[in-house]
């Protein structure tokens, strides 16, 4: 029995490791956001209630608010803001960066990200699981890709406001934003854990925590 179980797990392993959003079973399934999701897909709104408006989204038209600690505004077009993306396995963001603004180191547990610079001069970087740092300064029209789950950032290194459009192979990629995850979690990670992790004094931990009480985006 144990041997059979082992064989089944070994046969399934490649498929499990390549898991992404599931393929759609219908032309569309505009999410009914009031219903509870099952396995991260929302039930479909009845087709008779679907209109052309459901398939269009204005949320990336406007400049994001960059008046925050990092000078970044991220507008998200995912299943929660644009319900027609339900079951279609993709989403997009608009990232606005003030001069010197930083989209701080973060990762997306459920998606690979690609992006294109629309305006400005952007330093894009990511770090592999082998601790290798890859980075480049990009100008308008240039694209980048961040493999799924890897920590990455974008920084405006130009003189003017910058805009990037990013795309993900998930309807809901999720974002683990390192500064807020580590220093702004509720309830907070014990100080002694953070002090030991970064080999710093608890007073320094408190100082950092005081800056990350509320979400950045």
Q: Is 106 annotated among the ligand-binding residues?
A: yes
Sheet with 176-177, strands from edge to edge, namely: 133-138, 122-127, 151-156, 102-107, 176-177
Comparing C-alpha atoms, which of 172, 173, 174, 190 is closest to residue 182?
190
Is 63 labelled a binding residue?
A: no
Beta-ladder partners of 143: 116
Q: Is 192 annotated as a binding residue?
A: no
CA of 65: how far to CAs of 33, 71, 123, in Å? 25, 8, 20
206 is in an annotated binding site: no
Binding mask 111-140 for Mn ion (x = CB under 5 A): --x---------------------------
For Mn ion, the closer CB: 142 or 202: 142
Nearer to ligand GLV, 103 or 180 (CB): 103
Strand ranges of the sheet holding 113-119, from the earlier edge strand across to the other edge: 72-77, 91-97, 162-168, 113-119, 143-146
Nearer to ligand GLV, 148 or 195 (CB): 148
Pairing state between β 72-77 and 162-168: unpaired
| Total chain residues near Mn ion (CB under 5 A) | 1
Nearer to Mn ion (CB atom), residue 146 or residue 194: 146
Name the binder of 79 from ligand GLV, Mn ion, none, CB < 5-8 A by kind.
none
- Confirm whether residue 108 is marked as ligand binding: yes
Q: Note the residues at the interface with ligand GLV (CB under 6 A).
A: 74, 93, 95, 103, 113, 152, 154, 166
In angstroms, give the least distance from the CB of 69 to ligand GLV.
Answer: 17
Q: Which does 74 bind (CB under 5 to 8 A by kind): Mn ion, ligand GLV, none?
A: ligand GLV
Q: Which stretch binds Mn ion (CB under 5 A): 7-15, 18-26, 29-37, 108-116?
A: 108-116
Q: Which residue lies nearer to ligand GLV by CB, 45 or 94?
A: 94
Query: Six-digit token pair at 47?
Result: 């087709």
By the 10 Å C-beta count (0-12 exposed, 13-18 middle, 19+ buried), 171 is classed as: buried
d(CA 56, CA 74): 19
113 labelled binding-site residue: yes
Q: Which phi and psi (to 5°) does residue 90 adopt?
A: -155, 160
Parallel/antiparallel/unpaired status of strands 113-119 and 102-107 = unpaired
Report the nearest approach of Mn ion to the CB of residue 199 (Å). Answer: 28
- Give binding residues for oxalate as ranges: 93, 103, 108, 113
- Give binding residues as ranges: 93, 103, 106, 108, 113, 152
């Amino acid at each position: 029995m144990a041997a059979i179980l082992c064989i089944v797990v070994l046969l399934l392993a490649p498929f499990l490791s390549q898991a992404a959003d599931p393929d759609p079973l219908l032309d569309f399934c505009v999410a009914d956001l009031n219903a509870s999701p099952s396995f991260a897909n929302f039930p479909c709104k009845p087709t008779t209630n679907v209109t052309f408006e459901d398939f269009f989204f204005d949320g990336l038209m406007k400049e994001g608010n960059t008046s925050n600690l990092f000078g970044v505004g991220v507008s998200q077009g995912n299943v929660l803001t644009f319900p027609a993306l339900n079951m279609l396995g993709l989403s997009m963001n608009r990232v606005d960066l003030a001069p010197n603004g930083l989209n701080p180191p973060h990762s997306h547990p459920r998606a690979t990200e690609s992006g294109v610079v629309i305006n400005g001069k952007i330093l894009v970087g990511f770090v592999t699981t082998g601790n290798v740092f890859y980075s480049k300064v990009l100008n308008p029209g240039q694209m980048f890709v961040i493999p799924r789950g890897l920590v990455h950032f974008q920084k405006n290194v130009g003189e003017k406001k910058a805009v990037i459009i990013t795309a993900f192979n998930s309807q809901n990629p999720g974002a683990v934003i390192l500064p807020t995850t580590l220093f702004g979690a509720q309830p907070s990670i014990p100080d002694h854990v953070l002090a030991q992790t970064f080999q710093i004094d608890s007073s320094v931990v408190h100082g950092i925590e005081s800056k990350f009480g509320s979400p950045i985006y």
